[in-house]
Homo-oligomer: A and B are copies of this chain.
Amino acid sequence: MIKPLGDRVVIEALAKEEMTKSGIVLPDTVKEKPQEGKIVAVGTGKTLENGQKVALDVNVGDKIIFSKYAGTEVKVEGKEYLIISERDILAII
């Protein structure tokens, strides 16, 4: 299993059925980068300057919206994930 460090989480991007106003389903290359994902692993938290460790505000299974272009794409055992910092998570949906 993949274990993110610090305040990072591992995300599985959620595919969005993308359709233009005129009703045409867009092929993959034209689609916008997804901004929604499901958390599959969370780090142990961020260490503050006083040494205290702060647990994350999100949990495994949460569906989230995150900042476009945030994070790093990785491939583990043939599957693609995105590792992002909690501060790049905008909201839980």
Contact = CB atoms under 8 A, between A and B. Distances in A.
Q: How many copies does the complex hold?
A: 7
A52 B50 CA distance: 8
Interface of A: 2-6, 8, 10, 35, 41, 44, 47-52, 54, 57-58, 65, 67-68, 72, 74, 76, 83, 86-87, 89-93
Contacts of A3: 91-93
A47 B83 CA distance: 22
Contact of A48 (B10, B50, B58, B68): B50
B10 A91 contact: yes
A87 B51 contact: no
B76 A93 contact: yes
A35 B3 CA distance: 15
A74 B63 CA distance: 14
A5 B56 CA distance: 10
Contact of A57 (B2, B5, B74): B5
